[in-house]
Structure 1
Amino acid sequence: MPFGIFSSRWAGVLTGRITKKQSPPSSCDPAKSKVAYQKPALSGLLSPPSTIKVVRDDVVIKTEEVDSEDEDDFASPTRDQRVAVDSTTRCDQDILPSVERSTSPEEMILLPSIETSLLGRLRGGNLENSDDGSDEAEYGDNPDGEDHSDQRDEEFEPEASPDFPAGRWNIPEEILEQYQDLRRGVGGSETWTATESHLHRLLGLRGHHPLMPGEWKRDFTGFNLEDILFAPVGSGNAVALRTVTSGMSAQFRATKALGRIFSLPARVGDLRREGDEDKYPKLIATLIEKEILRYLSWVQKDAGLDRLFYASNIGVYRLREDSTEAEITEQLNSLMTEWADGYREWYVEMGIKGAPRTLFALVVLQHIVFVITRDASDPDGKNRFLAQLDLSRSDGRWLDHALNLALPINLARDGMVRVMDNFAVKPGADEDSDPDA
């Protein structure tokens, strides 16, 4: 099993719109956009009707209007599809206001057909990529020819009840009730792991409680962020986006890394406008993958995880842009199943108990990022689609998308930090664990 190169980020299932609708300016001409650009063929993944479930193999894609509020402008839904979105859904979409102040400068335009490579790069917090298949030989072959999978699955003992101090902020009762209504509308939410539930809560309630230390505010002066996103200085309460290493140098590097994620949607938009129509879909996917991996690398280095040998619970995947929807679904199912099996095997063989049970993946498809999760402790577990982020949009959603990317990365990091004392140090790792070195 090629688990040596595995390292993935999966996130959960997010229903409903969690930010207010941003109306495009009247000067936009959808007709011109549709003539100049064609909609990607993967309609079932990119812009499905809001009340339909698309089922392929063991993946159930719950298709809500998470990030398709302007769908009427670019997806050309039928009259019946528009009517299917009832008044209750529309009301829920405005429950949790956007944390942004900026308005939409222009209408979203979908990019033309895509081209990439499935699993363009598998990246983990600890393990190097391998092109020679050596990892499969090491982990996939059974030397005695016997099936030990059932025994290993029974021995896998994941973290029982993780603690999430970043979720202890006081939220107005009315907002909490609205959020609970939002969550109850998600099919299968009662089976989520504790980590999936916490991530969904962070995503659903962002903008209603602090997510970053108050000391970071001055470093983001140019981003015009709301005060609610920063904890009161000296409050002592934990926040979701933070450093593990203390010190001013760590803060500088943290805000610099997060700032690049904040600016990513704008850079994607610039690349779309300036690039060649035949080339920029691939350039955009490459940019998104590179910046996510860059932020992931900083998060791991800040925690000291880059020096350790461990099976990671998070990864970034780039899909082939010329694959059909059926091919993508089949390959994602196969990949996630192998990854979950290898993840359990590794911790059983190492004799490590209390490993995080939730696997996270950020899947890049041209300008779209899917946030997905999987319960590794369940051999028959299903993949859960938590959010669909369109980073090419320029309707004031840049902060929503940036937080949607940063929160699962930090949450996955926290899970590994709780068990990192059990990990061996990589051969040749520097003795100085200072991430600023």
Structure 2
Amino acid sequence: MKDQVAPDEGRKEAAGQRLSTREAAERLGVKPETLYAYVSRGQLSSRRAPGGRGSTFDAAEIDALARRTNRRPPVSPATAEPAFRTGVTLIENDHYYFRGVDATELARRYAYEEVAEWLWTGELRPGIRFTAPAEALAAARRAVEALPAHSGSTDRLRVAVVAAATTDPLRFDLSQESVLAAARSLVPTLVDVLPVVPGAPQGSETAGEPATDAGGAGLARRIWPKLTARPADEPAIAALDAALALLIDHDLAASTLAARVAASAHAHPYAVVSAGLGVLEGPLHGAASGLAHRMLAEVLERGSAAPVVADHLRTGRQVPGLGHRLYAAEDPRARVLFALLARVPQAAAVLAAARDVVTTTAGHTPLHANVDLALAVLSVSCGMSVEAGETIFAVSRTAGWIAHALEEYGERPLRIRPSGQYNGPRPPQPLPAAADGTPR
């Protein structure tokens, strides 16, 4: 899931005269792949960064190329992106942290619900389970069942959020206690409202029935039969649970920014989640893992990554699942998931296909695997649908949107109000005539 807003990487050298890959690409208004294409064509020079982590570029050379190619003019880093105070997630030096704790370590050691509770409150509550209220779940199921049969999982989740909101008379209470109560009930409602995949094993913990107490099935086990008909095994459940925990938040991603804008207007938590889901559905964000899923399936079918990668490059498409603007090396979320998936026997061939993609593409551009590629390995190897990664992302990130909403409710209302730079006709302009020329 490709995030759109990031803190300054702070990798400039020689008093700001050299730029990191991200800074150079943003200054030119291009993707990192295009930047390296300029290098391969001799239009730019690059130098390996200290420690061998990525490349650096001469700022004057970048500015000269921007002038020659009519790219956007340099933007001051101080004004290029909005910045918000947040104590939720920090991303720096190819690591990311939840409330100052290494997020990958949290995902390795704790279940999704435990990590979500930590993110919301700063308290670790081992064994906590979230329960869907009967009234909210019934309303959400009725609403979802009314959708066309071809509706996707994100369609169902968006409708379920609205339906669940109507059953909560306290949704306009923005106190921390009320918001957390809504969050703890909404997340399991989203899971339990999804239909079970035909042929999935039926049982108290695998059929998707709501947990009745704190000792019930964890969220990963409950969502499993909503994603695949294959029986759940412990290594696969562990990988799924880690994926949910790893994806809870990632600083001010596009959907999280939308969620904070909604919270700034004092929208209730259900509306905040709706705002996040609306942005998440974009192909450049939550749905990105589906592209990687299709690519890996094609690599397996054709027996090699080479022709598949060549097809992407030939048609000018980016190779899915590679590169991230916040990380010079491999996405730490991908690194954790790959390690866990290595313990899943049925994932071996798909993992090899993913490594083949990375190795093959490295001959063209030095990009590393991101979490979308790791999610695709999980979904392909476990017999999940193309949109399974998006479903996992949406359910997981709901907790992150709530964490940011809690922060935003404590800020000055409506503070997120940028000013437009008007570039239309200068007034006064005459009243427009009707399309057929008839005076009105």
Check whether TM > 0.5. Answer: no
Q: Return the structure number with greater relative CO, CA threshold 8 A, min gap 6.
A: 1
| TM-score, structure 1 as length reference | 0.24
More strand by share: 1
Larger Rg: 2
| TM-score, structure 2 as length reference | 0.24
More helix by share: 2
